[in-house]
Structure formats: C-alpha cells, structure tokens
A and B are shown apart, each in its own frame.
Chain A
Amino acid sequence: MFGEKAIELIRELHRASDGQLPAFNEDGIRQVLEEMKALYEQNQADVNEAKSGHSELISTIKFRHCSLLRNRRCIVAYLYDRLLRIRALRWEYGSVLPNAVRFHMSAEEMEWFNQYKKSLATYMRSIGGGEGLDLTQDIKPPKSLYIEVRCLKDYGEFEIDDGTIILLKKNSQHFLPRWKCEQLIRQGILEHVLS
C-alpha cells in the first residue's frame, strides 16, 4: 500500500519519547523516495495515455498524486521534527553534543546543527553592546546565590569568580555560586543537592 513506509517514519518518531533522538532512518527515507519515483513515473505514463483519450485514467492519476503529496508531507514532517529535537539538544547540552547523540544524526543534520549553533552564537553575542548575553544560562529563576552541589564525575580543577580554584572530585560536595555551576549541572557533572 502506498504511504505505508512514510507513516512508519512518523510512527518511529512518535514512539520515541520527547527529547530522544532515534537514529536517522536513511533507509526508510530512501524507500519512500523510491516509492515516490515509481508513482511519479507511472503517473507520467498514464498522463500521456489520458491525453490520447483514455480519460478513465484520471482518477488513478489523482490518487497517485495524493499519495505523492502525502509521502512528501511525511518526509518533511519527519525531518522537521528531528530538527526540533536537535535544536532542543543544543539548549540542553551546550554546543558540544555527546557522542551517543551525534551517532544518531545524519551528516546533513550535523551541518544544520553547526549552522544553527553559529546563528545562535552570533545572535547572543549581539545582545547589548559588549560581550553579549548567554541565553542558555539562567534557565530557572534564581532562588539563592549559592547552592549545594555534589560532584558526580571527576572533573578536575575549577576556578570560581574570586580566583579560588577548587578540585571537583567524584562524590565531593561543594557550596558554589549558582551562576558558575548551571552549565555543569546540565552536563551531568554536578548535581544540585536539595536539603
């Protein structure tokens, strides 16, 4: 049946929960494109037939055309939804994506991501006069200046505002300025300890 492959692509994304990026289904896309090519060729042939008097073919042609439109819509929706997920990852992980995620992206998606990163960086730098403003910081309203954090991984030395250098070692706990740790918390290096 026409359109089955295309809807399978959509289902695949639908099944993956929010924020997850399943592997790019290159094979699926290729199969849908092949189906479209076949449909189009059949239609071309039938259009010529129809022109020479076989008007009963017109409904078949229309049906194939609808299938074509549907396939296109599914492919574009698939690609667009993936872009939105990749965009969300940029905000979550910062400009360097974890390998597991990168593994699931196609070369073109990587390119889109790099371009998006660049546009976003240019925009954030242009805010205000000076160095700009990092919009990926300050995601949650500030409640207190310092927060208690626990280190989940060995990170190494980390400098805070007044020049003190602290050693972030696995399982150590620190009381740090919130604005310095936000990024590390999102990267999973630190964990905010709620007492």
Chain B
Amino acid sequence: MAEEQEGSDAGSEEVLLTPAQLIRSLEQAWMNEKFAPELLESKSEVVECVVEQLEHMEENLKRAKGGDLKVSIHRMEVERIRYVLSSYLRCRLRKIEKFFPHVLEKEKTRAEGDPSILSPEEFAFAKEYMANTETHFRNVALKHMPPNLQKVDLLKAVTKPNLDSFVFLRVKERQENILVEPETDEQREYVIDLDEDSQHLIRYKTIAPLVASGAVQLI
C-alpha cells in the first residue's frame, strides 16, 4: 500500500494512485453514496488506503514541532479527510440498517464472481443486525401470537430503496443511447445522449449502471 501511494512500485498490479487521486476517489465515492438511494458497491480498497494515509500523516504530525503554521494546516487536512471518510462509512451504515433485509438478500443472490456491495465487516454487521432485530421481534411479540402468524417476512415489511427517485449528476464520460423509461402512460420511452461535463436530473434507475461504472458522478 505504501508503495502504491508513493507510486514507486512498478511491478504492482494494483492501480497506482497519488494521494491526491486517492482522496479524489474517496470524495467521489462519498458523494455518490450520499445521493444514491440504494447502497452502492463497497470501496474497501479506497477506505483502507485512506486509513493508512491518515495514520501516516498523523505519525508525521506527531514528529513535527508544534507551533508551526504548516503543522496546523496539515492537521486541518487530516481532520477534513477523516470527516469525509467517517461520513462516507456512516452513510453506508445507515443504508445497511435502513434496508438490511434487502441488502442481505442482494448479497445472497449475487452471482459468483460479481463484486460484493458489502465489505466483509459490513456484511458481518448486517447479519448481526438482522439476527438481533429478528430475535427482538420474536421474543417480545411474535412468539406470543397464534402459530400461523409467528413469521414476519422482513423483506416485505422493511422499506425498499426507492430506485425511482431523481438524482442530479454530472457526466464524466460521454454516453450514447441511454434509454429513458416513460413516466406517465401518455409518454413513450426515448433515447438520450449524455455529453461530457453536462449535468442532468434523471431517475436513478435509468443511470444506476453508469454510477457503478464511474461514468457519471452524482452531485
């Protein structure tokens, strides 16, 4: 990882990122996550690298002499990065808690080899959250109910992410022939092109794959 950030290890198979690029990709992931109605793919590598970078910076700061202006600027930088990182992970956790049955269902039905939307730690958390909540319902109420009513399908009971909600986006790579579904019965579906750097307000479902591939940025 250290080599990766310094960009000196030519043999590494992973993409080489400068710290600035790393932070940019964190910010992009953060904004996408904030504005997307559903849980997006987890960016574990970015998170790991940023945590490492933060530790590295704090280490340096400890060694630096106090009272220097540069030190406080650096400290501010550390604070801001940590805020973005925490906010990003918090946002994901919120969505996991909000949509837990759906998130776990998606994880279960995921095809072998497809990237997981949850990091291993988030997956463990989601499973525990689900088990904990189910136990609670069962112990307090469900087990006292008539036998045919003791099961609640949480997939039906807990709200689903609203994929029809509208999002703002900026296009990073030009896209052609995006199929837009009709909103009302009178309309028919039509095709649009998205020019680079143009901004749009569009239904999330229509462009969800583009968010995942990084071709557009939610704003």
Contacts and interface: CB of A to CB of B under 8 A. Distances in A.
Interface of A: 29, 33, 36-37, 40, 68-69, 72-73, 75-76, 79-80, 83, 87, 106, 108-109, 111-112, 115-116, 118-120, 122-123, 126-130, 133-135, 137-138, 140-142, 144-145, 162, 178-179
Nearest to A109: B136
Interface in B56-78: 66, 72, 75-76
Given A112-B133, A115-B132, A36 B47 contact: no
B89 A135 contact: yes
B152 A129 contact: no
Given A127-B47, A130-B55, A142 B80 contact: yes
B51 A127 contact: yes
Contacts of A83: 133, 136
B152 A76 contact: yes
A123 B82 contact: no
A40 B125 contact: no
Contacts of A128: 47-48, 51-52, 55
Nearest to B75: A145
A141 B47 contact: no
Interface of B: 47-48, 51-52, 55, 66, 72, 75-76, 79-80, 82-83, 85-87, 89-90, 93, 97, 121-122, 124-125, 128-129, 132-133, 135-137, 139-142, 144-146, 149, 152, 157
A128 B149 CA distance: 43
B141 A76 contact: yes
A29 B140 contact: yes
Contacts of B135: 112
Contact of A72 (B79, B80, B140, B145): B145
A8 B137 CA distance: 19
A162 B140 CA distance: 49
Contacts of B85: 133
* Interface SS, B side: helix
A69 B83 CA distance: 45
B14 to A, nearest CB: 16
In the A-B complex, the 3 residue pairs with the smallest Cβ-Cβ separation, listed nearest first, are A128-B51, A40-B146, A119-B128
A162 B145 contact: no
B94 to A, nearest CB: 10
Given A115-B132, A138-B79, 20 more contacts: A40-B149, A72-B149, A120-B125, A122-B125, A123-B124, A128-B47, A128-B48, A128-B51, A130-B51, A133-B82, A135-B90, A135-B93, A138-B82, A138-B83, A138-B87, A141-B83, A142-B79, A142-B80, A145-B75, A178-B79
10 contacts: A33-B145, A76-B141, A87-B97, A119-B132, A126-B121, A127-B47, A128-B52, A129-B48, A133-B89, A141-B80
Contacts of A142: 76, 79-80, 83
Nearest to A40: B146
Contacts of A135: 86, 89-90, 93
Contacts of B146: 36-37, 40, 68
A59 B157 CA distance: 26
Contacts of A79: 136-137, 140-141
Contact of A145 (B79, B137, B149, B157): B79
Given A36-B145, A72-B149, A108-B140, A145 B86 contact: no
Contacts of A140: 83
Contacts of A130: 51, 55
